[in-house]
Copies of this chain bind each other. A is one copy, B any other.
Amino acid sequence: MTSEPVAFTLIAMNEGLIRREAVSDQLFALLRDRILGGELPAGAALTAERGLAAEFGVNRHAVREAVKRLQQARLVEVSHGGRTLVLDWRHTAGLDLAMGIAAADAGPTVEDLARDALEMRACIGADAARLCTIRCSEDTAGEIVEAAGRYARTGPDLTELADADVAWWRLIVEGSGNVAYLLAFNSLVGGTLPVADVPDDLRAAELLDVEAHQRLAAHIAAREAEAAERLARELLSRSVPATPRKAVR
């Protein structure tokens, strides 16, 4: 890493009245973005902990917490006594990192990422609906139908509707009995950005179609797996922007 005069200072303790962020969190975010942005290329060695501490004027313990998180995110590989190496996030990073990628300069934009997340949501959701139809208990099926009924009586506010929609889908994903789907679902809805930058008209086409929600619930209760899957895919695909994307790689 170059040793040019450091222009980065972590946010001061009291930045007006804004909530202060822990230094290790700031440092983690900063290093993460540098890695995702390509400033710290794969294979390169991260500056030593003592060096980073000096560079940012913080204690080494704070640096260690940040690096430990980078390690957990599989962005770096640390070895006792040796150097800490930057990994190729495209090969190692997991889905939980999705929310952080947008900050990268060279990487995908927020729009691309939102679209990717929605695409994945449709894919997982459709299969979850299918599996739920096949595997869930009668009680769960009943709950899903009930929840669809409540959904129909949910206020016209889009935000409120979106929350209810997530809760309803959670029932289906849980009913699929697939823990991997459930965790991926959490990653997708838990990320701050995924649903943030979707055009309202697309989102509304999905959320406002109460009748489709009830129909899907009915398919699940009636154990019509194929119909449930098809409807779920169609419903979830409405929010996916149809932007043709440039060829990759």
Task: Give me the interface of A with B, judged by CB distance under 8 Å.
Answer: 24, 61, 64-65, 68-69, 72-74, 90-98, 101, 107-108, 112-113, 116-117, 119-120, 123-124, 127, 131, 135-137, 139-140, 170, 174-184, 186-188, 190, 245, 247-249
Chain B: which residue is nearest A128 at the CB level? B123
Q: Residue among A117, A183, A188 with the most chain B CB within 10 A?
A: A183
Interface contact A187-B137, CB-CB below 8 Å: no
| 8 Å CB contact of A178 from B97, B119, B137 | B119
Considering the chains assembled together, what is the distance between the CA atoms of A170 and B69 in angstroms? 25
Interface contact A98-B247, CB-CB below 8 Å: no
Interface contact A186-B137, CB-CB below 8 Å: no
Interface contact B249-A116, CB-CB below 8 Å: no
| 8 Å CB contact of A95 from B119, B127, B139, B180 | B180
Interface contact A73-B72, CB-CB below 8 Å: yes
Residue numbers in B under 8 Å from A68 (CB-CB): 24, 65, 68-69
Considering the chains assembled together, what is the distance between the CA atoms of A248 and B171 in angstroms? 11
Considering the chains assembled together, what is the distance between the CA atoms of A12 and B178 in angstroms? 37
Considering the chains assembled together, what is the distance between the CA atoms of A11 and B159 in angstroms? 49
Chosen A-B contacts, 17 in total, with CB atoms closer than 8 Å, are A69-B69, A93-B186, A94-B184, A94-B190, A95-B183, A95-B187, A96-B96, A98-B179, A116-B179, A120-B124, A120-B184, A135-B245, A136-B248, A137-B248, A139-B249, A175-B248, A177-B247
